[in-house]
């Protein structure tokens, strides 16, 4: 997705495509595209469920909306929630 700036935020995730979704999501966060950012981070987590920064990104995207981060935590895998 273009138009989100050139963001590079190194993450220790298992697949290179996950890094692209993380970078895209961060660019979207900084551009105030919160819904799109959450979707990018969800995609990163779907590919690599152990990529913690993807869940951080989802929480950041949700914390800026009126609904808040409440619903996002319950959908995380239990292996991530218990850390």
| Residue 73 binned pLDDT confidence (cut-offs 50, 70, 90) | low
Convert the pLDDT of each residue in 8-62 to its tens digit.
888 888 899 999 999 999 999 988 889 999 999 999 999 999 999 999 999 999 8
The whole-number pLDDT of residue 13 equals: 87
- Mean pLDDT across the stretch 54-73? 74
The whole-number pLDDT of residue 28 equals: 93
Residue 32: Cβ within 10 Å count: 9
Per-domain residue ranges for the chain? 16-74
The DSSP line for 43-81 is HHHHH-TT-HHHHHHHHHHHHTSTTTTHHHHHTS-HHHH
Residue 19: Cβ within 10 Å count: 19
Q: Residues for the chain: how many in total?
A: 83
């Amino acid at each position: 997705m273009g138009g989100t700036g050139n963001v590079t935020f190194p993450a220790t995730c298992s697949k290179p495509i996950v890094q692209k979704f993380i970078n895209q999501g961060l660019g979207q966060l900084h551009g105030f595209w919160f819904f799109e950012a959450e979707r990018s981070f969800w995609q990163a987590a779907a590919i690599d469920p152990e990529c913690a920064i993807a869940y951080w990104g989802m929480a950041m995207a949700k914390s800026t909306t009126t609904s808040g981060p409440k619903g996002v935590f319950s959908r995380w895998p239990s292996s991530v929630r218990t850390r």
